[in-house]
Amino acid sequence: MRVLVTGANGYLGGAVVKQLRVSGHEVIGLVRGARAPGEGPVRTADLLDPEALTAAVRDIDVVCHLAGLTRVRESVADPLRYFAVNVGGTVALLRAMAAAQVGGLVFASTASIYGTPDRQPMSEELPDRPPHPYAASKAAAESVIAAQAATGQLAAVVLRLFNIAGGADPDPTRIVPRVLAVAAGDDPYLAINGDGTAVRDYVHIDDAATAFAAAVAHLPDSGACRRYNIGSGTGTNINELVAEAARLTGRRVAVEHGPAAPEPPRLVSDSRLARRELHWQTTSSDIATILRDGWAART
């Protein structure tokens, strides 16, 4: 199939482009600027430019929609921008797809939409309780996609991603790059909120990319929108992450504990539905592999 990947020059987008090509698809990257996601054809368009979007989706079978804004704190400071891009951009993309009769969509969403559920591990049956504008904007985009699918013009899969990590992660604010930066001597210490016992679910970037290829291969019938959690199903706390990084690198990882932050104590995925219906499974999402690949990408 001819698959268009929005946000193709991003951290996850580049991995998805590569995996889709490995899976035998003809992949076209959609980017805002001139920088190309590796080799292969690229089209240029802004999500808020309807005319450019209409041209970009021409002759496409499926769109993997990864473009958008993703920083939580930034969304709190500038919520209108997040809704304009993440929701308005998705609306514009769906309009362009409808005009070009593109009938398949795979959407990159976030597990943060669930908020802080009491039930662990977290399944797709949990109610939505987005705790910040970023999560709310992604939840709203999901609602738009489901509504468009209900018209019968679209078959859609929504992937709610947990904490993507590993490889050449360019975001220095995420925990794995921060830990490795201390191990490398680039930062003097790792600042930790509280006692370091907060548990998160980390999924390797390559495993996340294979989920998109699996979703493209298992799109539902037109008129349906399916949602799946994409995570490892294993929880790792900050202290364990630091200890494993020190063991793998042979370097000391200094930490400095600050006051506890109002954050969920444990967030771990139940991804059995994706395993059952998409035939997807993780192969590299143990924390040792994630850290080893991240460390190799730095050296």
* 124-175 tens-digit pLDDT: 999 999 999 999 999 999 999 999 999 999 999 999 999 999 999 999 999 9
Provide the pLDDT for residue 261: 83
Q: Are strands 190-193 and 255-258 parallel, antiparallel or unpaired?
A: parallel
The per-residue b/e assignment along 26-50, b for 16 or more CB within 10 angstroms, e otherwise, is: ebbbbbeeeebbeeeebbebbbebb
Task: Please state, in angstroms and as integers, the Cα–Cα distance from residue 274 to each residue in 24, 160, 214, 247, following that order.
Answer: 21, 10, 9, 32
- Locus of tokens 């294993």: 234
Instruction: Compute the distance between CA of residue 264 and CA of residue 60 in angstroms, rounded to an integer.
Output: 40
How much is the average pLDDT of 17-33?
95
**Average of pLDDT values for 99-107?**
97
The one-letter code for the residue type at 122 is: M
Q: What is the pLDDT of residue 33?
A: 73
Q: Is 134 a catalytic residue?
A: yes
What is the rounded CA–CA span in Å between residue 119 and residue 30? 38
Which H helix or E strand runs over 52?
Answer: helix 50-56
Q: Please compute the mean of the pLDDT values over residues 243-253 and round it to a whole number.
A: 97
- In this prediction, residues 286-297 reach a mean pLDDT of 97
Of how many residues is the chain composed?
A: 299
pLDDT of the residue at 263: 86
Average pLDDT, the chain: 95
The order of strands in the sheet holding 42-44 is 42-44, 26-31, 2-6, 62-65, 104-110, 155-161, 225-230
The CA–CA distances, whole Å, from 37 to 69, 115, 263, 296, 297 equal 18, 33, 35, 21, 17
Confirm if 121 and 112 have CB atoms less than 8 A apart. Answer: no
Average pLDDT score over residue span 259-279:
94
d(CA 27, CA 228): 23
**Whole-angstrom Cα distance, residue 168 to residue 34?**
21
pLDDT of residue 129: 97
Residue 10 DSSP label: S
pLDDT at 39 over 90: no
pLDDT at 130: 98
Strand partners, 62: 3, 104
Please name the CATH architecture into which domain 2-165+202-232+270-283 falls: 3-Layer(aba) Sandwich (3.40)
The single residue listed with the structure tokens 């669930």 is 114
- Segment 275-291 shows an average pLDDT of 97
Please tell me the distance from the alpha carbon of residue 153 to that of residue 244, in angstroms, as a whole number. Answer: 48
User: Contacts from 271-275 at CB under 8 Å and sequence distance 24+?
Assistant: 271/228, 271/229, 271/230, 271/231, 271/232, 271/233, 272/123, 273/123, 273/124, 273/228, 273/229, 274/159, 274/211, 274/214, 274/228, 274/229, 274/230
N-term to C-term CA, the chain: 36
pTM for this predicted structure: 0.96
Residue 145 tokens read as 């996609």
| 34 — pLDDT class (breaks 50, 70, 90) | low
> Residue 36's pLDDT is what?
52
pLDDT digit string, tens, across residues 114-135: 999 989 999 999 999 999 999 9
Q: Which member of 11, 82, 114, 134 is catalytic?
A: 134
pLDDT of 279 above 80: yes
Residue with tokens 């771990």: 268
